[in-house]
Amino acid sequence: MKHSVFALAIVIIFTIIILIEVSAIKDGEKCTASDPRIIYEGCALDYRDMTLWCDLTNLTQLPRPEEIKAQAPPSKSASLFMNDSCVDLINPDVLGLYNRLKMISFSKNRISHLVNGTFAEQTTLKVLDLSNNIISKINKNAFQGAIALKILDLSHNNLSSLPTEALAALRNLQELNLASNKLRTIDGGWFGHVTSLKVVSVAYNKISSWMTSQQTSRENVPAQNQSPRIQYTQHISKLEKLSLRGNALKQLPLRAFAESQHLTSIDLGGNRIRKLHQSIFKDLCFLHEVVLNDNRLSMAYRDWFINVIRNNAAYSYPPVTSSVMSYNRWICDCRMYDYWKFLHESRDKIVYETMAIDLVCSFPLKHSGRNLTSLREVIIITSGLRVTVSSMKRMKKTSHLHQCLRRTIVLGIGQSTHHYFIIPPRSRATTHHTETRNHFM
């Protein structure tokens, strides 16, 4: 037995070593001429639209303009594409020789660091794609000079933080993509001068909480002991689309979006949110989409989607996401009655929208797997509302059950079991038990 275990351990160790070596070989061959992905030896200029193509090369640096053979001066290029290559550092001196660029793409390279002044000469640059690199550090003046930049893509890198001043020069920035990094904190100072932002994605990072500016100012906890957070977004009042998908958020404050009232789309899917205030989206008058799937929510409220329904009413086929409410822990009892009623009232108005915001019950178990709208009114009202006389007297007025009872009326008391049977107020028999009803108010 001991010999067999020892032999198995040796086999596992050798397998790991071989896999490591194979991986190392692949990495080492990525930027060699023998790599099948490397199909070009240098750059080529398309003089018709002045696009400089340096994709799929084994170049580790951008060539100087005089090193490129072309029918027009490469220094006057309007676009630069150097994707799927071997660039490990963007040389500011060389990039500065191409000072008429409107678009730059260095996607899928080996860039790990952006030094100060990298884009100092790019005063006409509007689109910058640095996605799918290994960038872990950005110096505070790296984007200094890129005053016309509108779209910045830093997704799929290794960023765990950014200097507070890193985006300060990008006053015209409209879209920022920081998805799939290692961010643990979203610093409100990043957006202090970037007031034109309309689209922000920090999806698939490691953010676990949201903190308002008031909370931040009162906090005296050392930085190393602070939990990952999102600070107040008061500087991005023009924000229209926000994605926080795939983080570890557990809760959001009531005024999380109070300063971004132009929001049209919010994606909170794939987090760990257990509860959202019923009025958290109520003041977002332009809201078209709210995505809440893959969380741990148990209660839904009509106020979440009042504006969504109204804004999508202008479309014949509203642009909704079919999984907007799926994969949560919805409790379909009397507390969900208001939302149930809202769905039924909205169904005739916008069928496609209610399909998206309908939900599948997890509890009670007898309703598990059923859509909320498939439950009859009397079932949703009475679910979880059988209580004895003695327990009713001990019930706290702040309890969920008591709140349900305040919205209903007692029709009768079972003589044998002393159970209360609750139905909606509109169906009540006005001649019965009005005195008993006052007992619960």
Q: What is the DSSP letter of 322?
A: T
Tokens of 19: 């896999």
- Residue range 331-344: average pLDDT? 88
Q: Over 90: is that where the pLDDT of 191 sits?
A: no
CA 208, chain centre distance (Å) = 12
Q: Transcribe 78-138 into DSSP letters.
A: SEEE--SS------HHHHTT-TT-SEEE--SS---EE-TTTTTT-TT--EEE--SS---EE
Chain length of the chain:
441
**For residue 350, how far is the Cα from the chain centroid?**
26
pLDDT at 362: 93
- Mind listing the pLDDT tens digit for each residue in 4-16? 656 666 656 656 5
Q: What sign has the CA pseudo-torsion 310, 315, 321, 322?
A: positive
Across 45-59, 114-128, 129-143, 377-391, least confident range: 377-391
Q: In the predicted model, what is the mean pLDDT of residues 236-243?
A: 90
The answer, yes or no, to whether residue 301 has pLDDT greater than 70, is yes
Mean pLDDT of 196-207: 95
* Interval 311-322 mean pLDDT: 59
Note the pLDDT of residue 227.
Answer: 44
Tell me the whole-structure pTM to 2 decimals: 0.78
H or E segment at 354?
A: helix 351-357
Structure-token pair, residue 312: 């999508």
The dihedral through the CA atoms of 297, 352, 332, 366 has a sign that is negative
Distances (CA, A) of 34 to 2, 28, 30, 110, 211: 46, 11, 9, 18, 51
8-state DSSP, 271: S
Most confident of 38-47, 96-105, 201-210, 309-318: 96-105
The count of other CB atoms within 10 Å of the CB of residue 394 is 8
Does 170 or 4 have the greater pLDDT score? 170
> Which residues sit opposite 242 in a β-bridge?
200, 266
Given a contact cutoff of 8 angstroms between Cβ atoms, the answer to whether 148 and 171 are in contact is no
Residue 319's nearest CA partner among 286, 345, 288 is 288
What's the pLDDT band for 193 if we cut at 50, 70, 90? confident
pLDDT digits (tens, 9 = 90+) for 47-77: 899 999 999 988 899 999 999 988 899 999 9
What does the pLDDT read at residue 420?
41
Judge whether residue 243 has pLDDT over 60. yes
Amino acid 213: pLDDT? 43
Q: Whole-angstrom Cα distance, residue 270 to residue 290? A: 13
pLDDT of residue 236: 77
Share above pLDDT 90 across residues of the chain, in percent, rounded to a whole number:
46
Mean pLDDT calculated for residue range 358-380: 88
Token representation of residue 136: 């872990």
